[in-house]
Structure 1
Amino acid sequence: MAKFLAVLLAVVVLVELVLVIGVAGALFWIGGTGTIVAGAAMLVVAGAGGVLALRAMRAPG
C-alpha cells in the first residue's frame, strides 16, 4: 500500500509541475506582481513533493 501511495504522489507531483509551469507562464504573460516569487514557491513545493515521492518509492518494504 505504501508503494502505491508513493507512485500516486509522484503522479500528482508531475501533474502539479505541469500546472505550475502553466500558471507561472500565465502570470508572466499578464504581468502579475510577484510572478517570480509565486512561481519559485510553487516549484519548491513541487520539488519537495517529488523528492519525498522518490524516497518513498525507493524505500524497502
Structure 2
Amino acid sequence: MTGVAGAVGGYVVEPAVADGLDLVAGASARDLDPVRGSGADHVVERGSETAARARELIP
C-alpha cells in the first residue's frame, strides 16, 4: 500500500489489518517510523526495489 503516511492512507490501515489483510506499506525514508507506528504489518522503503522487497515479505 502506498500513501500510508498521508491523511487518507493512515485511515485505511486500521480496517485493512482488522480484516486480516497482511499489509505491506511503502514509505519514504523520513516516513518509515511513523508508518511502522500506523499498524502496517511490514514497511519497506520506497524506491526502485520496493516491489521486490514486498514480494520477499509476502511471496
Normalization by structure 1: what TM-score?
0.32
Bigger relative contact order, structure 1 or 2 (CA pairs below 8 A, ≥6 apart): 1
For the pair shown, the structure with the greater C-alpha radius of gyration is: 1
More helix as a share of residues? 1
Normalization by structure 2: what TM-score?
0.32
